[in-house]
Structures are given as structure tokens and as C-alpha cells.
Structure 1
Amino acid sequence: MNLYSFKLLIFLLHFVLINEIICKKISLPDIDLHSGSTIGECQQCKILTESFNHWLEKTSRGKYEGGDAAWEEAKLKSYSRSEMRLVEIQEGLCSEVKKHKDHCYALAEEAEEPLEKWWFHEDPASVDLYTWLCIETLQYCCPENHFGETCAPCPLYKNQVCGGQGQCAGEGTRKGNGTCICHKGFAGTYCEDCAKNYFRVNEQSCERCHKACEGCSGEGPAACNSCKQGWELYSGACVDVDECLIPTTCKTNQYCVNRAGSYSCKNCHQSCNSCVDAGPSNCTACDPSHVLWSGMCIDDQMKSDFLQNALKRLALYCGLLIITYFTYRKSKFLAALVVLIVAVYIYYSESLSKINVVDLFLNMYFINSPSSL
């Protein structure tokens, strides 16, 4: 083999090995995307025992059909507690876990000897693996309704943990202080009271007060103990204060939007000095170089263009009405059809126009000057 052939062989081997490694990495099943998240020792142990029970079920053997039934039963009996079955379980252990797989593998390695002890010396039918391993042997967990290093009992109220309306801090683990963490709407050492701005419906239920209330005795704004800011007492009930009725609520170049219990100030359109709502057609004052015309701030050229456009439309409408009149004299049915078409046309023309004909007449005949609007 010459030097060139030898180098080519080395390159091909190198390529094959790298490709094999990459493929294996990419094809690893059930990659644990959550392996970086932290869970407690008790939760790790619970995941491990669930996986063990899963593989215990997977490795169970059913009776075979035909053959020597007595021999098969004896064979299965010996397999059920055999080292072979334990090896099968350990080989599959944690592989089916989708979340916290790394934690499961780590604890499986740590608990290998205790698991073997349970397998060979305890009866799975009467000795629960979770209780034996996690609570009694490793002492990572506590029985239900117990907490802390000594597995002290959780606080009871009316023979229920936290009155049945909360959770004991650290319950089931060797952590926590046993304080009641109350469900939404409940408060107190044992979750025996309603939380602030909730009222009692019955022993097991607290409902939220009306949004107007600062504390309440029942449902609705009439049951408030006092009114929240933005509300006021009127005829025995808390009603919304309309802050927008106060002229100084917002700045001059803003308009007010009232909400239940509050309000907000929004900036006027850039063409307006002051306004009553959003958009360029709700102005109430303009800068000196513009005049107010039908809610819009326009200059002289724009006003002239609007007037000319409105006059043209007015002339067109008059022409259409004249045509309708002569059509009526010839055929009432045809005239009715023409009236419908003209009405639809006028409606859409005026709705799309910034200045309609009515505004034109108001400004030309009933108001002295555009700036007085």
C-alpha cells in the first residue's frame, strides 16, 4: 500500500467514526429538555418509584397456552422474584421518563442497593415501594398530611388540613414549616376566614366583593363596607365617579375617557389644540393659522376645497332630484327605483366625505364665521 492509499484509508475511517458519533448523539431517544430544572429529593424519589413500578408491570409474564401447566407455573413463580427480572427492570429504569430524566437516573444509581434489598427481602404485594424507599429508608418524603424533618402532622381545622381550604407548606416532604397556604379567597392561620374583599357564602365558599367595594358584607355594590377610589356612595350603593365631567381632569390637548372606577387621558389628534374625542374631526380649538370647521382644524385653502367639493355634490344631488321628478311623470315604478338608487348614492357619498352638505348649510347660513364653531 502506498502512502497516498494509506492516507485515504485513514481519512475514510475518520469520517465514518465521526459520522457514527454524530448520528448516535442526534438519535438519542427522549432527550430531557427539563434536566436543568430543579426538583426536590422527594419528587425525585417519587419519579423513580413510579418508573420502577412501570417496569415491574412491563416485565410481568402471562401464562403460556398449552404444554405443561404445572411446570410453567413453577417457572413463572421463580421468574417473578428472580435476579433476571430485576436486571430487566433496572435496564429500563427511567428510560420512559419524559421530564426530569437526569434526576431519575442519578437517584437510581444512588438507590441501587436499597432497591435490591426491597426486591429480595420484602413482599411487593404488601410493602409499598414508595413508602418503604422514599419515606422509611431514604427519608426523602413524609406520609400524606405530614411535613418537615420529623414528619410532623399538618395543622388541622375542623378535622381537615388547613380547614380543607389550603395546603400545608411542605406537605409530603421533609421540607417546609407546615404553614397553611390558603386557596384564593381564604385567609387566616387555618384558612378559616375570607380574604380581604371577599365575603362568606357558606362554610366552604368565599366570593369576591363587587369591584366598587373596599370590603363588603354580601354581593353587589349596595353591600360595600366602603367605596374604593373612583367610586362614591349614592343612594346606599357605590357608583362610578365620572372624572371626565371635571374640566381640569386632563390637559388642554387631551381628551378624557371614563372607565368604571377610573379614567384615562388620551392625546388629541396632532391637528387639534383641544378636542372631545380621538381623530382629526373632534377638535374644539385650533392654532391661530387654522380655523375650526365641523370639528376639523383646516387652513383657508382646505376650507375653500371643502366648500367647492360640497357645492359640486349639492349641484349633483339637485340634478339627480330633477331627473327623478321627470322620471316620476313618466313612470312611478321607474321613479321609485331611481329614488332608491339616488338615496343609496347620496348616503355613501356623504358618509365618505369629510364635510357633508348639512354641515355646509349650517356653516354658511346659521353660523357667522367658521372660527366660532
Structure 2
Amino acid sequence: MQIHVDYCNRLKARTNLGRGEIDDCNRCKVLSDSFKNWLQKTARGKYEGGDTAWEEAKLKSYSRSEMRLVEIQEGLCSEVKKHKDRCYGLAEEVEHLLEQWWVHEDPNSQDLFTWLCVSTLQYCCPQNHYGPLCTACPVDENNKICGEKGSCDGDGTRKGNGSCICNRGFAGEFCENCAENYYSTPEADCKPCHKACNNCKGEGAAACVICQTGWELEVDVCTDVNECLKENLCKVNEYCINWEGSYSCKTCDVTCKTCSGKGITNCTSCEVDEILVNGMCLDETLKHQYLLSTMKRLALYALLLLVASEGSYEIVNIKCAKQSSDFSGKKLGILL
């Protein structure tokens, strides 16, 4: 019996999708999952089209009929979102095997994945088995694979060596220990050490065995080292920022020769033709403008203090101008 499959959609999928990276076992699993999906979608108790009289005359139920297989084949892989092209490719390669399983095998005793991917193509192994010979994954004294804290290398495939790939925080042949920089809890879990620790006995910076680089032991607790207190740590035109366990150097503002922090107001020295005023590097013109502005603000502040101390004036207006103060009766308009 020859099954005709709609290859047009398959060709279109290959054109639209790049050839994805996936091994033979996973490719076979994608195909078998799709077949199972279409097996469920086509499950019905009567014929819908075709030579139903001939089928019924042969006393062959729809559930294992050629008609149903054709329906499954036509939809096969079409719903797959990832690696669709690889699914279509394998479906073409094993079409005769799918037909053989459909006609001769009992799906109740052996599912398609086991028959096709494990036994026939030998792309995969049963769960909890690995390697070319599908060797059983090793178990611990409690008959648990990797203590249920990891997985067997190559599990379910024809690859791997069966060693335990432990979950994060666990280590050992059967993942029975905590990894470096993790500590054991009463709940048999492994938690990460404090960032100040280079290995630890428990929770917090006081449980460190050794302090990490950038930390130092003070009164039995690992505390952060302020590297920025050291001299000449950064370049001449840079300033230092301390982080927990480390530091970084940042470039000073372009107006500064040297500085103590970010921005134009943290300069500590200036170029030859400039002077340092309140953390800013100013040339002669900017210097006079800055001083004049400062003097105006100070004069206004002093006048306001005078008015407030006299208690006999009401401030009615504040404007900036070049004229001096103007008093009128008990009301004061301030003009600067």
C-alpha cells in the first residue's frame, strides 16, 4: 500500500524556515508527537468520504484504516512550530515505516515513539537509559538517579556517558553534596553563599570560610574593602567609584584636569589658564561672571534678612534689574 503525502506544504516550510539544529532523537520525537496529535484529531467512529462501502465490506474499522492514515499523513508536522522542516524531512524518510507500524503493530502494546525512534531507527533510548547500547543510568543507595538532584548524561538518547549532571548548587557522583560556594540547609537543599564569601558554612557574611577578593575580615565578618581610599588607583583624569567587592574608574568632566566625582562641580584642579572656584574650573571671563552673580545673590539675601529683622516692611515685589533698592513708606520693592 503506497501512501500519497502532500509534499507541497513541506517544500514551502523548508523554503520559509532555515534548517534548524536538532539531533536525530529529538527529530524523531517531534515526528512521533505530531503523529500522536493527528491520531487524536482524526479519532471518530464513522467514515467521512471515500469508498466507505468497500471498507465496511472488508470489515476493517476506521480506527486502523488506510483512509485515516492518509488523513494523519496529510496533517503530519503542519502544526509543529519549531523544527517543522526537520519533521517533514523525517516523515518522508520513514513513510514506509509509519505504514508498517500502522498496519502490523498493535498501538496498545507499543507506542509509535518506542517502536520507531527506540527499536527500529535506534535514534533514542528509553527514559533513564543512555548511550549506544541504551545502558541503564546509575542509581544511588536509595535507588534514585542522581539523588533526584540532577539528570543522567545522555538520558533517553544514544549519546552521553551516564554521569550525573547536577542541578545548580549540587555536586558529587550522585549530586549528594553542595557545590563550592553553596551551603546545605536542614531541608536538604543547597543555597548560595553570601557574595562576600569564598565558600561558607551557612547563611550571611559572618559564615564565610574565606573572604572573596575585595572583601576583608573585620570582627569575624567579611566587609567590603573601599579600594578608592588607595592613592593613584585611577588615571590622573579619572575618579574612583567603590562597589561591593570591587571598584571602577570613570573619566572626569572635560572641564576638569583632575576631579573627585562626576560633573562640572567636582573638579580638584584645572588647566593652566583656568582657576578653581567652588569645584568648577573657570577662565577669567567666567570667573567674573560667576563672582558677580554670587555677589548679587548675597546682596539680595542680606537685604531680605534686614527687612525680616526690622519687621516694619512688607515685601511686595522681587525683580532682577540694574537699579538699587527703592523704599516707599512701609512697603519695600526690591530691585536688583
Give the Å deviation of 1:54.
1.7
What residue number does 1:116 align with? 99
Matched-pair identity in %: 55
SS at match of 2:118: helix
Give the Å deviation of 1:182.
1.5
Q: Is the 8 A contact 2:149 2:170 kept in 1?
A: yes
Q: 1:85 to 1:176 in 2, by over 3 A?
A: same
Aligned: 1:91 with 2:59: no
Q: Is the 8 A contact 2:13 2:85 kept in 1?
A: no
What residue number does 2:268 align with? 284
Aligned: 1:262 with 2:262: no
What residue number does 2:28 align with? 45
What residue number does 1:215 align with? 199
SS at match of 1:207: strand
Give the Å deviation of 1:33.
5.4
Q: 1:61 to 1:75 in 2, by over 3 A?
A: farther
Give the Å deviation of 1:207.
0.7
In the aligned structure 1, how far is the partner of 2:156 from the partner of 2:235?
Answer: 59
What residue number does 1:356 align with? none
In the aligned structure 2, how far is the partner of 1:194 from the partner of 1:163?
Answer: 12
Match for 1:58 among 21, 41, 62? 41
Q: 1:156 to 1:32 in 2, by over 3 A?
A: farther
What residue number does 1:312 align with? 296
Opposite residue 93 of structure 1, the aligned amino acid is: L
Opposite residue 117 of structure 1, the aligned amino acid is: Q
Match for 1:152 among 135, 148, 154? 135
In the aligned structure 1, how far is the partner of 2:243 from the partner of 2:130?
Answer: 48
Give the Å deviation of 1:275.
1.7
Q: Is the 8 A contact 2:252 2:259 kept in 1?
A: yes
Gaps of 5+ in 1: 1-24, 65-72, 347-373
In the aligned structure 1, how far is the partner of 2:116 from the partner of 2:217?
Answer: 63
What residue number does 1:252 align with? 236
Give the Å deviation of 1:212.
0.8
In the aligned structure 2, how far is the partner of 1:33 from the partner of 1:260?
Answer: 50
1:19-76 CA distances to partner (integer Å, 9 max, x unpaired)?
xxxxxx99x9767755411211111111111111122222222469xxxxxxxx9999
Give 1:1-373 correspondences, 5 Å limit.
34-62=17-45, 78-157=61-140, 158-202=142-186, 204-318=188-302, 329=312, 335=314
In the aligned structure 1, how far is the partner of 2:16 from the partner of 2:167?
Answer: 31
In the aligned structure 2, how far is the partner of 1:238 from the partner of 1:153?
Answer: 46
Normalised to the residue count of structure 2, the TM-score between the two structures is 0.80
Opposite residue 116 of structure 1, the aligned amino acid is: E
Give the structure with the higher percent helix. 1
SS at match of 2:61: helix
Give the Å deviation of 1:318.
4.9
Q: Is the 8 A contact 1:35 1:101 kept in 2?
A: no
Opposite residue 301 of structure 1, the aligned amino acid is: T
Give the Å deviation of 1:247.
2.5
Q: Is the 8 A contact 1:255 1:265 kept in 2?
A: yes
1:86-144 CA distances to partner (integer Å, 9 max, x unpaired)?
22222222222222122212221222222222212222233211111111122111111
Opposite residue 43 of structure 2, the aligned amino acid is: S
Gaps of 5+ in 2: 1-7, 48-55, 321-336
Q: Is the 8 A contact 2:129 2:136 kept in 1?
A: yes
Opposite residue 256 of structure 2, the aligned amino acid is: C
Q: 1:113 to 1:37 in 2, by over 3 A?
A: same
1:310-358 CA distances to partner (integer Å, 9 max, x unpaired)?
22333444555677788x647xxxx5xx59x97xx99xxxxxxxxxxxx
